[in-house]
Amino acid sequence: MRSAVLEVVEASLLAKIRAIRSLRSSKQPHGAISLSPSVASNLQGRSHIDMTLDLLLEARHPLHVTEIIKRIASRFGVAVDR
């Protein structure tokens, strides 16, 4: 049980770090996002859960599954199933 809780906390912290790095690098004019090489490499091979967690942490409020799917498609360029 303790191990499962620690894994969830670790995953949450890693997602927060990725979100902060993404926000830090997105201070380009007109919404252009330039990612550092480390952040760009993290975007490759990311799970749907990682992408969803990033979006929910960024939104800071619950999102409907259809909204999550739309945001994943626009932000990460990935089509996901419900």
Cβ neighbours for 62, distance < 8 A, ≥ 6 positions apart: 56
Question: 34-77: per-residue pLDDT in tens?
Answer: 555 555 555 556 788 888 888 898 888 899 999 999 998 888 88
- pLDDT attached to residue 24: 76
pLDDT band at 30 (very low <50, low <70, confident <90, very high): very low
- Distance from C-alpha of 14 to C-alpha of 16, rounded to nearest angstrom: 5
